[in-house]
Protein backbone atom coordinates (compact mmCIF):
# COMPACT_ATOMS: atom_id res chain seq x y z
CA UNK A 1 0.00 0.00 0.00
CA UNK A 2 1.21 3.44 -0.82
CA UNK A 3 0.99 5.96 1.95
CA UNK A 4 -0.66 9.37 1.73
CA UNK A 5 2.31 10.93 -0.04
CA UNK A 6 2.12 9.99 -3.70
CA UNK A 7 5.38 11.77 -4.56
CA UNK A 8 8.34 11.15 -2.34
CA UNK A 9 11.46 12.98 -3.31
CA UNK A 10 14.74 11.07 -3.44
CA UNK A 11 17.68 11.66 -1.22
CA UNK A 12 16.75 11.58 2.39
CA UNK A 13 14.24 11.73 5.17
CA UNK A 14 12.49 8.80 6.76
CA UNK A 15 9.82 7.09 4.64
CA UNK A 16 7.60 6.24 7.55
CA UNK A 17 4.38 6.67 5.61
CA UNK A 18 5.30 4.00 3.09
CA UNK A 19 4.88 0.27 3.24
CA UNK A 20 4.40 -1.88 0.24
CA UNK A 21 2.30 -4.98 0.01
CA UNK A 22 3.99 -7.97 -1.66
CA UNK A 23 0.52 -9.42 -2.10
CA UNK A 24 -0.92 -6.75 -4.37
CA UNK A 25 1.80 -6.74 -6.99
CA UNK A 26 2.32 -4.19 -9.74
CA UNK A 27 2.89 -4.38 -13.46
CA UNK A 28 4.77 -1.09 -13.35
CA UNK A 29 7.74 0.12 -11.35
CA UNK A 30 6.63 2.75 -8.84
CA UNK A 31 9.49 4.93 -7.67
CA UNK A 32 9.96 5.47 -3.98
CA UNK A 33 12.68 7.81 -2.83
CA UNK A 34 15.88 6.32 -4.22
CA UNK A 35 14.27 3.01 -5.19
CA UNK A 36 12.50 1.54 -8.18
CA UNK A 37 10.39 -1.36 -6.97
CA UNK A 38 8.47 -4.09 -8.73
CA UNK A 39 6.42 -6.77 -7.04
CA UNK A 40 4.38 -9.65 -8.32
CA UNK A 41 2.79 -12.99 -7.60
CA UNK A 42 2.80 -16.31 -9.39
CA UNK A 43 0.50 -19.20 -8.63
CA UNK A 44 1.90 -22.60 -7.71
CA UNK A 45 1.09 -24.20 -11.08
CA UNK A 46 3.24 -21.96 -13.33
CA UNK A 47 7.01 -21.90 -13.78
CA UNK A 48 8.51 -19.80 -10.98
CA UNK A 49 10.75 -16.81 -11.69
CA UNK A 50 14.41 -17.80 -11.72
CA UNK A 51 17.14 -15.33 -10.81
CA UNK A 52 20.46 -15.91 -12.55
CA UNK A 53 23.72 -14.00 -12.33
CA UNK A 54 26.47 -13.93 -14.92
CA UNK A 55 29.95 -14.68 -13.62
CA UNK A 56 32.40 -14.51 -16.51
CA UNK A 57 30.61 -16.68 -19.09
CA UNK A 58 28.87 -18.85 -16.53
CA UNK A 59 25.16 -18.44 -15.78
CA UNK A 60 24.68 -19.18 -12.09
CA UNK A 61 21.20 -19.81 -10.65
CA UNK A 62 20.22 -18.41 -7.27
CA UNK A 63 18.63 -21.47 -5.64
CA UNK A 64 14.91 -21.25 -4.96
CA UNK A 65 12.71 -23.23 -2.61
CA UNK A 66 8.98 -23.90 -2.49
CA UNK A 67 8.97 -23.60 1.28
CA UNK A 68 11.62 -21.08 2.27
CA UNK A 69 11.55 -17.33 1.65
CA UNK A 70 14.81 -15.89 0.35
CA UNK A 71 16.40 -12.49 -0.02
CA UNK A 72 19.26 -12.21 -2.50
CA UNK A 73 21.28 -9.05 -3.10
CA UNK A 74 22.63 -8.59 -6.62
CA UNK A 75 25.64 -6.34 -6.26
CA UNK A 76 25.96 -3.37 -8.56
CA UNK A 77 27.65 -4.01 -11.91
CA UNK A 78 26.56 -7.67 -11.86
CA UNK A 79 24.62 -8.82 -14.90
CA UNK A 80 21.44 -10.67 -13.92
CA UNK A 81 18.19 -11.93 -15.36
CA UNK A 82 14.91 -13.09 -13.89
CA UNK A 83 13.80 -15.75 -16.31
CA UNK A 84 10.05 -15.81 -17.09
CA UNK A 85 9.75 -12.21 -15.84
CA UNK A 86 11.79 -10.44 -18.53
CA UNK A 87 13.74 -11.81 -21.43
CA UNK A 88 16.94 -9.78 -21.33
CA UNK A 89 19.83 -9.43 -18.91
CA UNK A 90 20.32 -6.24 -16.97
CA UNK A 91 22.97 -4.45 -14.93
CA UNK A 92 22.67 -1.36 -12.75
CA UNK A 93 25.17 0.96 -11.07
CA UNK A 94 23.53 0.26 -7.72
CA UNK A 95 22.59 -2.86 -5.80
CA UNK A 96 19.37 -4.77 -6.48
CA UNK A 97 17.51 -6.86 -3.90
CA UNK A 98 15.40 -9.86 -4.90
CA UNK A 99 12.82 -11.29 -2.51
CA UNK A 100 11.09 -14.60 -3.18
CA UNK A 101 8.52 -15.60 -0.56
CA UNK A 102 6.70 -18.87 -1.23
CA UNK A 103 3.27 -19.45 0.31
CA UNK A 104 0.44 -21.94 0.01
CA UNK A 105 -0.91 -20.13 -3.09
CA UNK A 106 2.33 -19.61 -4.95
CA UNK A 107 5.28 -17.23 -4.78
CA UNK A 108 5.36 -13.54 -3.91
CA UNK A 109 8.22 -11.55 -5.39
CA UNK A 110 9.81 -8.14 -5.04
CA UNK A 111 12.65 -6.69 -7.09
CA UNK A 112 14.05 -3.49 -5.64
CA UNK A 113 16.74 -1.42 -7.37
CA UNK A 114 18.45 1.50 -5.72
CA UNK A 115 19.18 2.75 -2.26
CA UNK A 116 21.83 5.36 -3.10
CA UNK A 117 21.19 8.97 -3.91
CA UNK A 118 20.90 9.61 -7.66
CA UNK A 119 21.03 5.88 -8.40
CA UNK A 120 20.31 4.07 -10.54
CA UNK A 121 22.03 6.50 -12.88
CA UNK A 122 22.93 3.99 -15.59
CA UNK A 123 21.13 0.75 -16.34
CA UNK A 124 22.08 -1.65 -19.12
CA UNK A 125 20.32 -4.41 -21.00
CA UNK A 126 21.88 -7.12 -23.11
CA UNK A 127 21.67 -10.77 -24.00
CA UNK A 128 23.64 -13.85 -22.95
CA UNK A 129 24.19 -16.58 -25.49
CA UNK A 130 22.45 -19.72 -24.18
CA UNK A 131 25.09 -21.77 -25.99
CA UNK A 132 28.40 -20.25 -24.80
CA UNK A 133 27.55 -17.64 -22.15
CA UNK A 134 28.87 -14.64 -24.06
CA UNK A 135 27.16 -11.35 -23.22
CA UNK A 136 26.36 -9.39 -26.37
CA UNK A 137 24.26 -6.51 -27.68
CA UNK A 138 24.60 -4.54 -24.45
CA UNK A 139 23.12 -1.03 -24.39
CA UNK A 140 23.49 1.36 -21.44
CA UNK A 141 20.74 3.87 -20.69
CA UNK A 142 21.24 7.06 -18.69
CA UNK A 143 18.23 7.24 -16.36
CA UNK A 144 19.31 10.26 -14.29
CA UNK A 145 16.84 12.61 -15.94
CA UNK A 146 13.85 10.50 -16.93
CA UNK A 147 14.12 7.83 -14.24
CA UNK A 148 13.95 4.06 -14.39
CA UNK A 149 11.03 4.14 -16.82
CA UNK A 150 13.49 5.43 -19.44
CA UNK A 151 15.35 2.14 -19.11
CA UNK A 152 12.18 0.05 -19.42
CA UNK A 153 11.12 1.98 -22.54
CA UNK A 154 14.55 1.64 -24.13
CA UNK A 155 14.64 -2.07 -23.38
CA UNK A 156 11.22 -2.55 -25.01
CA UNK A 157 12.51 -0.83 -28.14
CA UNK A 158 15.66 -2.97 -27.98
CA UNK A 159 13.55 -6.13 -27.80
CA UNK A 160 11.66 -5.15 -30.97
CA UNK A 161 14.92 -4.64 -32.87
CA UNK A 162 16.36 -7.87 -31.45
CA UNK A 163 13.31 -9.93 -32.41
CA UNK A 164 13.10 -8.59 -35.96
CA UNK A 165 16.78 -8.97 -36.84
CA UNK A 166 18.42 -12.39 -36.77
CA UNK A 167 21.78 -10.65 -37.13
CA UNK A 168 21.43 -8.92 -33.78
CA UNK A 169 20.37 -12.24 -32.19
CA UNK A 170 23.49 -14.00 -33.46
CA UNK A 171 26.18 -14.60 -30.85
CA UNK A 172 29.42 -12.91 -31.99
CA UNK A 173 31.43 -15.67 -30.32
CA UNK A 174 29.82 -18.93 -31.49
CA UNK A 175 27.22 -17.80 -34.09
CA UNK A 176 24.41 -19.45 -32.14
CA UNK A 177 21.13 -17.60 -32.81
CA UNK A 178 19.47 -16.46 -29.58
CA UNK A 179 15.75 -17.26 -29.33
CA UNK A 180 13.14 -14.50 -29.59
CA UNK A 181 12.60 -12.62 -26.37
CA UNK A 182 10.16 -10.50 -24.31
CA UNK A 183 9.98 -7.58 -21.89
CA UNK A 184 8.70 -6.98 -18.37
CA UNK A 185 5.09 -6.19 -18.93
CA UNK A 186 2.87 -8.85 -20.53
CA UNK A 187 0.38 -6.06 -21.32
CA UNK A 188 2.88 -4.76 -23.91
CA UNK A 189 3.18 -8.18 -25.57
CA UNK A 190 2.85 -8.65 -29.29
CA UNK A 191 2.13 -12.10 -30.71
CA UNK A 192 5.88 -12.56 -31.07
CA UNK A 193 6.82 -11.62 -27.49
CA UNK A 194 3.87 -13.56 -26.05
CA UNK A 195 5.06 -16.72 -27.77
CA UNK A 196 8.62 -16.03 -26.61
CA UNK A 197 7.46 -15.55 -23.02
CA UNK A 198 5.59 -18.85 -23.10
CA UNK A 199 8.45 -20.71 -24.74
CA UNK A 200 10.97 -20.34 -21.92
102/137 with CB nearer Zn ion:
137
46/174 with CB nearer Zn ion:
174
d(CA 148, CA 106): 28
> Phi and psi dihedrals of 11, rounded to 5?
95, 25
CA 151 to chain centre: 11
119/169 with CB nearer Zn ion:
169
- Residue among 74, 73, 110 at smallest CA distance from 91: 74
Q: In the bound complex, what is the minimum distance in angstroms from residue 184's beta carbon to Zn ion?
A: 25
Q: In the bound complex, what is the minimum distance in angstroms from residue 128's beta carbon to Zn ion?
A: 9
The residues that touch Zn ion, with contacts defined as CB under 5 A, are 129, 131-132, 134, 171, 173-174, 176
Q: In the bound complex, what is the minimum distance in angstroms from residue 60's beta carbon to Zn ion?
A: 17
134, 141 Cβ separation under 8 angstroms: no
80, 96 Cβ separation under 8 angstroms: yes
72/176 with CB nearer Zn ion:
176
Is cis: bond before 120, omega within 30 of 0? yes
> The dihedral of CA 151, 188, 35, 59: what is its sign?
negative
155/171 with CB nearer Zn ion:
171
Q: In the bound complex, what is the minimum distance in angstroms from residue 125's beta carbon to Zn ion?
A: 18
* Rg for the chain, CA atoms, rounded: 17
Q: In the bound complex, what is the minimum distance in angstroms from residue 173's beta carbon to Zn ion?
A: 4
Amino acid sequence: MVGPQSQITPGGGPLLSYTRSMIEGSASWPLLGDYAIWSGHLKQDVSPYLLHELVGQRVLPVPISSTRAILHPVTRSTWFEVRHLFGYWMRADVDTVWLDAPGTDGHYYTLCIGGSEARPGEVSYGWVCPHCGTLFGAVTIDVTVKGFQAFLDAAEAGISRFNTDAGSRTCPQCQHVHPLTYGFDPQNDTDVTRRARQAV
